[in-house]
Chains A and B, each alone.
Chain A
Amino acid sequence: MRGFVSDFGPTAALSMESCVHCGRCADACQFYVQTGDPRYTPIHKIAPFRQAYAREVGPFAMFYRLLGLARKVTADELTKWQDLIYDSCNMCGRCSLICPMGIDIADLVEKARHGMYRAGLAPSDYLGLLAEKEQATGSPFGLSTTKFREMLNAIADQHGVAMHVDEATADIVPTVSSIDLKTYPGSMAAIAKILNHMGESWTFRTDGFDADNVSLTAGDRDGQRKTTLGIVQAAASCGAKTLLMPECGHAFTEMRWEAANAFGKPLPFRVMQITEFLAEGLADGRIRVKTVKQRATYHDACQISRRGGATAGPRIILEALGVDLHETEDTGDSNWCCGGGGGVALINRAAPLRKKAFEIKQRQIEATGMETVYTSCSGCRQTLDHGGKAAQWNKTVGSLLELVADSLRP
């Protein structure tokens, strides 16, 4: 419980105190909406932690303990909550948006995971393993710095792009996500292509390249800090002015909004999500593109749009490319989560549940009648790919970054 209540400020405390049990958060959550199982009610997922809060940190904590108004929560008890806190929550923030009391439930789940991890209750499969590996090698896929350098060189050859690796000084330091490393290596070629096109001084840094931060989603605060600070140091040491976050949701929120706190002072560089960077470049003419004669729809990553405040970028990019955009019914900040976010995609036993959650997205995309859906998060991209395969889609799932790279005018 100490792990949970650490870092508790007034906002988190307000969230703990304010729930009036109205039940609306359930209606925002893809897991409840698709299954009808009341256990997936967002605020219910963290019930034992509200008890712990009341006992330890609440205004009447002393009375709770003296009068036995809240039992001490045992680690045994918490085992029952594991699937609620990990398998059935993407931390997508829809619940936070619907709550009439202004409770950031998604943030509370993230905090709950700190407690769960401390108690050794992060799901043992894949997720836990990944977090350990990430700390050891800087990547959940166990890719060492040497391996990364080799990969980058291979990509440079394959795609015919000039790659910059471990330069001593550079203005821009791009990062990647572990899913890019494994599944979409083309994204690294795409970044290189665009940055070269812009004539920027840039470099990948093998001492800080994987921004995915699986430790965050696992609840491992120490691992989370380690990964984040590794990247910050890498960028700072080459005097970067801009740190580019890849197509990845949590990587962005972590670096843009939390890294400075871990660093202890404001970061010495701008942190930009790749779509923000591309939108800026397109707007001021540093990136020049051909028109793309396409009709498509777009899937927002929750951490980038709703939680991260970078909703406008992708629309600017698509417009600059001349894509005929047909938005889904709930889009932008009101988007439904693909179901794979927040580490859920990495939990094997959660696959059936994830599939059910994805059906909402599937319906909404199909309703647009578009053949192509773009996204700017590799996690979402992978979920859309897998989900589409299961649904036997004929739709194309594309990355916005790669689309821009493919459409550059010489």
Chain B
Amino acid sequence: MDPTATLGEVLGRRGFGRRSLLKFAIAMTSSLALPPALAPVMAANLAKAKRRSVIWLSFQECTGCLETLLRSSSPSIEALIFDFISLDYQESLMAAAGADAERTLREAVSANKGEYLLAIDGSIPVKDGGVYSMTGGRSNLGMLTEIAADAKAVLAIGTCAAYGGIPKAYPNPTGAAGVEDLISGKPIVNIPGCPPLPEVLSGVLVHFISFGRLPELDELRRPLAYFGTTIHDQCYRRPFYDQGKFAKSFDDDGARQGWCLFELGCKGPVTHNACASLKWNGGTSFPIQSGHGCIGCSEPDFWDAGSFYTSLAGGSSAGWRNTGIALGVGVAGGLAAALSGRRKST
């Protein structure tokens, strides 16, 4: 691909004309919850847009975020956009390795100083000087600090990069932290989810390419367009919730009729994401549709929020042992008081 070509030229060569781009822009403004009037503006901007350098650093991750973003069942404009952005560094995808890879990184940073987008997936361990995740002898913590310094903006992709994710779960032996805990003074977007919806990343990129800035974010730095509502707000099983029809166990009659999974631990009401409307694998399904409650994977500390199968009406048990101890302490105190009272009563 010609590195100096605009997106409009690239798409034109592949048979997608202005009308297709406009149709795409209309769909995108809707997805981003922007006013419809902005669609022609977005289409025009996209046509003029130059390739944007993206440097992607993978830290303490399972690679699930990368996999999900790359899964694409049929060529789409989203896929083409991923081709269009200059993914200058990504350890799983690039051909280079070893010293070559390191040189590629250095060159990408210096060539696009102040203009590249830094995408991070995986949490960053900070304990013991960050030794628990290292690449080529350098700690992730060190790499993050250095490379973020010259980035235009940082995209924390997946719950691990955003908030620490699974590695941060109790007892957090590596001292895992999210990007926002470690970087300040740079625009940060969190795209949480375990993994996140691919459409969210493409939406953020399109917005950035079209308007030169990140979309509106909520107080947890998540794009409001995708994280402004909860699963509960958009869930197709909501009528059953309202009617009080709940599955009592997996695969019981209610479950088979697609009743609400609240009693089986669904965290939909307190989880912000677009899974219930956009769904997964190109709109095929999402966990609730498959019969399992939402586990709240786009929320901070979801792994430490108690069992996935304890409903929101329930909570952590103190345990019989502790209850017994409390009872014992109470009776002991009461007995002591009563004995003292007995002495005064005679």
Contacts and interface: CB of A to CB of B under 8 A. Distances in A.
- Is there direct touching of A and B in the complex, by C-beta distance under 8 Å? yes
Interface of A: 2, 5-9, 13, 56-62
Nearest to A63: B337
Contact of B344 (A57, A60, A62): A57
A59 B340 CA distance: 9
Contacts of A56: 341, 344
B337 A62 contact: yes
B338 to A, nearest CB: 7
Contacts, number: 30
B338 A6 contact: no
A109 to B, nearest CB: 19
Contacts of B338: 59
Contacts of B333: 59
A9 to B, nearest CB: 8
In the A-B complex, the 8 residue pairs with the closest CB atoms:
A57-B341, A59-B337, A8-B345, A59-B334, A5-B344, A56-B344, A6-B345, A57-B344
17 contacts: A5-B341, A5-B344, A6-B346, A7-B345, A8-B341, A8-B344, A13-B341, A57-B341, A57-B345, A58-B337, A58-B341, A59-B334, A60-B337, A61-B337, A61-B340, A61-B341, A62-B337
B345 A5 contact: yes
Nearest to B335: A59
Contacts of A8: 341, 344-345
A342 B325 CA distance: 48
B330 to A, nearest CB: 10
Contacts of A59: 333-334, 337-338
A221 to B, nearest CB: 13
Given A8-B345, A59-B333, A62-B340, 5 more contacts: A5-B344, A5-B345, A7-B345, A9-B345, A62-B337
In this complex, which of B337, B338, B340, B345 has the most chain A Cβ atoms within 10 angstroms of its Cβ? B345
B334 A2 contact: no
Contacts of A62: 337, 340
A55 to B, nearest CB: 10
Greatest chain B CB density within 10 A among A2, A7, A8, A59 is at A59
Contacts of B344: 2, 5-6, 8, 56-57
A13 B338 CA distance: 10
A9 B344 CA distance: 11
A14 to B, nearest CB: 13
A7 B337 CA distance: 16
B138 to A, nearest CB: 58
A191 to B, nearest CB: 39
Contacts of B341: 5, 8, 13, 56-58, 61
Nearest to A10: B338
Nearest to A2: B344
A13 B341 CA distance: 10
A92 B208 CA distance: 85
A62 B340 CA distance: 10
A13 B340 CA distance: 14
Contacts of B340: 61-62
B339 to A, nearest CB: 11
Nearest to B333: A59
Indicate the member of A8, A57, A58 with the most B CB atoms within 10 Å.
A57
A61 B340 CA distance: 9
A8 B344 CA distance: 9
A5 B337 CA distance: 14
A56 B340 CA distance: 9
A58 B341 CA distance: 7
Contacts of A9: 345
Contacts of A61: 337, 340-341
B340 to A, nearest CB: 7
Interface string B322-339: 000000000001100110
Contacts of A7: 345
Nearest to A59: B337
A58 B340 CA distance: 9
B44 to A, nearest CB: 73
Interface string B300-335: 000000000000000000000000000000000110
A9 B346 CA distance: 10
B346 to A, nearest CB: 7
A62 B337 CA distance: 8
A60 B336 CA distance: 10
Contacts of A60: 337
A62 B335 CA distance: 13
A140 to B, nearest CB: 30
A223 to B, nearest CB: 20
Nearest to B338: A59
Nearest to B340: A61
B235 to A, nearest CB: 44
Nearest to A6: B345
B11 to A, nearest CB: 76
B39 to A, nearest CB: 65
A50 to B, nearest CB: 15
Contacts of A6: 344-346
A5 B344 CA distance: 7
Residue from B338, B340, B344 with most neighbouring chain A CB atoms (10 Å): B344
A7 B340 CA distance: 13
A62 B344 CA distance: 13
Nearest to A56: B344
A58 to B, nearest CB: 7
A197 to B, nearest CB: 48
A2 B341 CA distance: 11
